[in-house]
């Protein structure tokens, strides 16, 4: 039997078309050629940037109040933080930069447009390919606000198709397959390593609830699409790195409802059945690694800390065909960036101290006020208890509570918190403090997967 070369070519095209159609939306795009098999690969991973465009606020009293009374986000310097991180990307030139959602403060259209412009500049200067997915704050957000003098006002957010269009050059147009039921997509930047970028958000409910719905899930149809993606990767001998905004596992005994996927058991089963063993998530703003399963079928969920909060960390994932994946964290050196760029703002020039003080002072004050209001403790005791909260919270966000566990457990403040089990007014904060004590010796800033 003989084959006509043209017929052979035609049947190859048909096969590719059928495979892609079966998987979801087949994508015609400006995809660059994938990095060839056997090549080492470097990736940076960041999350929860919560960018806010300068054009959305005037730095007036309403904006000052907003960021100062928040959860520790250093929004007053977000543009400088992203620029300093961009400069790091330009210097190190990783092959890939992954951003796992909550790109903007509250989904303001102007913030999305300004961030996409920054991403374009970073890609052009570094040659790095950026891949994004949305977080729960990014799409159809009823809380999108601008700030002028002492007033807040509504500003436009974006719907899912606008989001896809604004970030088309950061994943969507490079996808080899897209899910028909969400903004999830599969990208193949290298022949060896593929990225399964999953949209876990429920923005379609935001109008009804008038909030950016915190919870997340992966629908049944998306899980079926994930199976098809995994099969294709297996056929092509590619490893998959899975990225989503919500967490696969509970990273806190206290804060997990709305953070861990609502249908995490189904999702975990699908991931395990399909060999998806390395997951990156965000949403919690803390640095924490959890895993489940025996070594041969273990799944890791690495929750990355937020780029807008102390200690301004990001993940570095290196892939080598010989040794597999090597993960560690690094920090953005904002002080150095400020010096190199001739900045004269003392806060920027001493950013490590300035931002640590901002973060720890807020934790200390919150705890001190709650304890003092009970009227049950002396000034010195309240100070000890606030100091415990400050130290734990600081290390919790950078993923290093394991290093101070003994010091905390021996401290006067911690002993007072333990003894406060009957003080109703301290119940919530006491539970939060106890939940930060690590129950295993996992290094949250380092991991090797062969």
In the complex, the residues that contact Fe ion under the rule CB under 5 A are 48, 102
Compute the Cα dihedral for 208, 211, 216, 221 and give only its sign. positive
Angle at which helix 5-23 crosses helix 220-235, to 10 degrees, equals 150
The Cα 65–Cα 117 span in angstroms is 28
Whichever of 140 and 274 has its CB closer to Fe ion, that residue is 140
The Cα 187–Cα 34 span in angstroms is 10
As measured in angstroms, the least distance from the Cβ of 264 to Fe ion is: 18
Phi/psi at 161 (5° precision)? -75, -35
As measured in angstroms, the least distance from the Cβ of 76 to Fe ion is: 17
Compute the Cα dihedral for 75, 80, 81, 83 and give only its sign. positive
As measured in angstroms, the least distance from the Cβ of 308 to Fe ion is: 8
Whichever of 102 and 123 has its CB closer to Fe ion, that residue is 102
Whichever of 102 and 217 has its CB closer to Fe ion, that residue is 102
Whichever of 123 and 288 has its CB closer to Fe ion, that residue is 288
Alpha-carbon torsion angle 385, 387, 392, 394, nearest 10: 150
As measured in angstroms, the least distance from the Cβ of 337 to Fe ion is: 23
As measured in angstroms, the least distance from the Cβ of 285 to Fe ion is: 6
The tokens for 169 are: 């050059």
The Cα 282–Cα 136 span in angstroms is 11
Contact 196, 186 (CB under 8 A): yes
As measured in angstroms, the least distance from the Cβ of 257 to Fe ion is: 16
Whichever of 104 and 277 has its CB closer to Fe ion, that residue is 104
Whichever of 102 and 268 has its CB closer to Fe ion, that residue is 102
Residue where the block lists tokens 């920090």: 331
Whichever of 49 and 278 has its CB closer to Fe ion, that residue is 49
As measured in angstroms, the least distance from the Cβ of 212 to Fe ion is: 10
Closest CA to 187 of 99, 88, 113, 289: 99
Whichever of 23 and 75 has its CB closer to Fe ion, that residue is 75
Is cis: bond before 176, omega within 30 of 0? Answer: no
The Cα 426–Cα 164 span in angstroms is 44
Cα 318 to Cα 300, 399, 450: the distances in Å are: 16, 20, 12
As measured in angstroms, the least distance from the Cβ of 314 to Fe ion is: 15
As measured in angstroms, the least distance from the Cβ of 73 to Fe ion is: 9
As measured in angstroms, the least distance from the Cβ of 402 to Fe ion is: 24
Helices (H), ranges, 24-135: 61-68, 78-92, 109-126
Dmax (CA) for the chain in angstroms is 94
Whichever of 102 and 301 has its CB closer to Fe ion, that residue is 102
As measured in angstroms, the least distance from the Cβ of 86 to Fe ion is: 20
Whichever of 129 and 141 has its CB closer to Fe ion, that residue is 141
Whichever of 347 and 393 has its CB closer to Fe ion, that residue is 393
The tokens for 128 are: 């790095």
The Cα 170–Cα 347 span in angstroms is 32
The CA-to-CA distance between both ends of the chain, in Å, stands at: 45
Q: What's the gap between Cα 312 and its chain centre? A: 12
SS (H, E, C) 228-246: HHHHHHHHCCCEEEEEECC
């Amino acid at each position: 039997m003989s084959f006509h070369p043209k017929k052979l070519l035609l049947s190859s095209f048909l096969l590719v078309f059928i495979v892609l159609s079966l998987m979801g939306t087949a994508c015609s795009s400006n995809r660059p050629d994938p990095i060839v098999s056997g090549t080492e690969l470097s990736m940076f991973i960041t999350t929860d940037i919560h960018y806010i465009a300068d054009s959305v606020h005037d730095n007036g009293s309403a904006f000052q109040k907003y960021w100062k009374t928040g959860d520790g986000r250093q929004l007053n310097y977000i543009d400088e933080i992203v620029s300093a991180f961009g400069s790091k990307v330009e210097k190190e030139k990783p092959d890939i930069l992954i951003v796992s959602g909550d790109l903007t403060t509250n989904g303001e259209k102007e913030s999305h447009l300004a961030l996409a412009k920054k991403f374009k500049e970073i890609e052009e200067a570094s040659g790095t390919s950026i891949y994004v997915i949305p977080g729960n704050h990014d799409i159809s957000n009823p809380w999108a606000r601008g700030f002028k003098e002492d007033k807040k006002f509504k500003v436009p957010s974006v719907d899912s198709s606008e989001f896809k269009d604004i970030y088309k050059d950061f994943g969507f147009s490079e996808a080899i397959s897209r899910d028909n039921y969400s903004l999830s997509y599969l990208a193949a930047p290298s022949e060896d390593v593929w990225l399964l970028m999953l949209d876990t958000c429920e923005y379609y409910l935001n109008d009804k609830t008038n909030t950016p719905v915190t919870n997340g899930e992966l629908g049944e149809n998306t899980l079926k699409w994930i199976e098809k993606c995994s099969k294709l990767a297996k056929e092509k001998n590619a490893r998959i790195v899975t990225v989503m905004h919500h967490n696969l596992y509970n990273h806190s005994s206290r804060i997990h409802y709305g953070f861990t996927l609502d249908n995490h058991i189904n999702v975990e089963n699908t991931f395990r059945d399909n060999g998806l063993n390395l997951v990156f998530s965000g949403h919690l703003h803390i640095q924490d690694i959890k895993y489940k399963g025996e070594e041969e079928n273990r799944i890791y969920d690495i929750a990355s800390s937020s780029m807008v909060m102390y200690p301004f960390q990001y993940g570095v994932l290196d892939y080598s065909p010989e040794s597999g994946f090597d993960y560690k964290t690094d920090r953005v050196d904002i002080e150095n960036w400020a010096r190199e760029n001739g900045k004269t703002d003392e806060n920027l020039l001493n950013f490590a101290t300035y931002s640590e003080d901002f973060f720890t002072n807020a934790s200390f004050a919150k705890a001190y006020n709650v304890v003092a209001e009970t009227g049950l403790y002396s000034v010195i005791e309240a100070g000890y208890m606030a100091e415990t909260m400050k130290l734990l919270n600081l290390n919790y966000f950078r993923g290093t509570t394991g290093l101070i566990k003994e010091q905390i457990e021996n401290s006067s403040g911690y002993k007072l918190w333990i003894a406060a089990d009957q003080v109703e007014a301290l119940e919530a904060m006491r539970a939060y403090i106890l939940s930060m004590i690590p129950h295993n010796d996992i290094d949250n800033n380092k991991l090797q997967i062969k």
